[in-house]
């Protein structure tokens, strides 16, 4: 791993760490976008020296800034206003349905596990006073009331049966990211290929390609003499691959 690879990896690691509060799909998308941005910027510059890489990362902003923006986007108000908003914003008095729903949703979860919250959801849903948002909230509370005892029960059973070995492998699998441009992609081997084929293969695998040219007695003109990192390397977060092409 070169120094510049390390700078990029550290940046992406930090971003990944900061992004823990986001949902899994958000994290995946963000990591893919940011890594793709860095690779594209390096590919555009045609260089991956330290100054270039640092400029690219400076312009991106700190991982903390990016994650703060992502957190802000989640709670942003959708730009299209629902037609029913004016009506639903009006507050009206609760009737017996609403009172029963609240009683079943919260204390009901303790006195009558599962059945209580389920019935509570049904009452909440039939309310003519509550708007959609409130009903959805009641639904979420009710679902938690149903799911929590089930989850606790299941957790109790699995704790009892799971061996420490299984728990270990579960934890180590957790941070793997999949996606269209896998950040943990394997570097394809392109030694001996033509410049064009090699560039295409590496680009397809998600890497920015940095080219150097060198004279060679053994490798024909236009073919790849060597590459760094080597083909087959599991490349972590790094974004660029350097290839040396023969000029004959």
- Site residues (vs another protein, CB under 8 A): 26, 29-30, 33-37, 39-44, 59-63, 65-66, 68-70, 72-74, 76, 78-80, 180-181, 199-200, 203-209, 239
Q: Of 248, 232, 234, 236, nearest to 195 (Cα)?
A: 248
Minimum CB distance to another protein smaller for 63 or for 120: 63
Alpha-carbon distance of 9 to 203, in angstroms, equals: 19
Closest distance of CB 151 from another protein, Å: 28
Closest distance of CB 95 from another protein, Å: 35
Alpha-carbon distance of 120 to 65, in angstroms, equals: 42
Closest distance of CB 211 from another protein, Å: 10
Minimum CB distance to another protein smaller for 124 or for 239: 239
Minimum CB distance to another protein smaller for 20 or for 59: 59
Minimum CB distance to another protein smaller for 41 or for 141: 41
DSSP summary character for residue 187: P
Minimum CB distance to another protein smaller for 141 or for 193: 193
Q: Residues near 212 by Cβ (< 8 Å), separated by ≥ 6?
A: 242, 243, 244, 245
DSSP summary character for residue 21: G
Q: Of 242, 220, 223, nearest to 231 (Cα)?
A: 242
Closest distance of CB 31 from another protein, Å: 10
Alpha-carbon distance of 173 to 137, in angstroms, equals: 33
Closest distance of CB 210 from another protein, Å: 10
Minimum CB distance to another protein smaller for 109 or for 202: 202
Run of H or E residues at 11? helix 3-18
Run of H or E residues at 137? helix 132-161
Run of H or E residues at 248? none
Q: Of 189, 240, 181, nearest to 211 (Cα)?
A: 240
Closest distance of CB 17 from another protein, Å: 15
End-to-end CA, the chain:
28
Closest distance of CB 37 from another protein, Å: 6
Minimum CB distance to another protein smaller for 98 or for 238: 238
């Amino acid at each position: 791993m070169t120094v510049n690879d390390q700078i990029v990896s550290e940046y992406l690691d930090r971003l990944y760490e900061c992004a823990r509060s986001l949902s899994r799909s958000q994290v995946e998308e963000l990591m893919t976008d940011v890594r793709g941005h860095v690779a594209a910027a390096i590919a555009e510059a045609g260089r991956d020296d330290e100054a270039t890489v640092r400029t690219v990362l400076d312009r991106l902003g700190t991982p903390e800034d990016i994650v703060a923006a992502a957190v802000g986007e989640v709670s942003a108000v959708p730009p299209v206003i629902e037609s029913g908003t004016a009506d639903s914003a009006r507050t009206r008095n609760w009737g017996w349905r609403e009172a029963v729903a609240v009683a079943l949703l919260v204390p009901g979860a303790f006195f009558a596990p599962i059945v209580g919250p389920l019935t509570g959801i049904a009452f909440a849903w039939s309310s003519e006073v509550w708007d959609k948002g409130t009903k959805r909230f009641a639904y979420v509370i009710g679902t938690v009331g149903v799911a929590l005892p089930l989850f606790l029960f299941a957790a109790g059973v699995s704790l009892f049966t799971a061996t420490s070995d299984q728990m270990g492998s579960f934890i180590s699998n957790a941070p793997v990211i999949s996606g269209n441009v896998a950040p943990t992609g394997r570097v394809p081997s392109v030694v001996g290929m033509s410049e064009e084929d090699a560039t295409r293969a590496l680009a397809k695998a998600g890497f920015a390609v940095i080219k150097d040219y060198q004279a060679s007695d053994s490798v024909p003109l236009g073919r790849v003499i060597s590459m760094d990192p080597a083909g087959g390397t599991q490349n972590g977060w790094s974004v660029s691959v350097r290839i040396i092409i023969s000029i004959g």
